[in-house]
Amino acid sequence: MTAVKKLYNYPAHGVRVFDRVLKEQAALGRSLLSLSKGYFLGSGVSFRFLFSDAPPSVQYELTYFYGRRREDSDPVFQSWHVSTVLRMRAWWIPIGYFYLLQKTVLGENQARCVECAGVFDVEEMIAHGSYYVCARCKPAFIQRLTEGGLVGDDLRAV
């Protein structure tokens, strides 16, 4: 296990630091185990990363939003899974949250179901334009299509 500690000064900087550290560690064959925040230290706040010595099989993204804590099912996260939420503060006043998002890296013959976001072999799914739907979600999907409902990105764009 490898621990890495980095300082950042403001949320967008924190995201850049996160991206850089993950890229550096992935190049060394290490994958992220956890992310936490340390205390305010002089000129910045610290992120504490823990890495395992296994190559990454999950894709991570760090994002942030000011204001209230968003539900894990919030449409802004799209097909990402919220794995960790860290509070952002300015002078001890909560101002928003960092969200560590994760996504399974798709294999060559895998796709993500547009309905349930599950990952399946393409052979077990039906394709509709650029979307894939798993066997379990297929009936509901077909029903919505025939009713002229919105699908996937159309839904998110509303």
Q: How far is the CB of 144 from Zn ion (least distance, A)?
A: 13
Do the beta carbons of residue 95 and residue 65 sit within 8 Å? no
Which CB, 15 or 116, lies closer to Zn ion?
Answer: 116
Q: How far is the CB of 129 from Zn ion (least distance, A)?
A: 16
Q: How far is the CB of 27 from Zn ion (least distance, A)?
A: 34
Which CB, 101 or 113, lies closer to Zn ion?
Answer: 113
Which CB, 37 or 144, lies closer to Zn ion?
Answer: 144
Applying CB under 5 A, which residues contact Zn ion?
A: 113, 115-116, 134, 137
Q: Which residues of 121-151 are buried (b: 16+ CB within 10 A; e: fewer)?
A: eeeebeeeeebbbbeebeeebeeeeeeeeee
How far apart (Å, rounded) are the C-alpha atoms in residues 101 and 79?
10
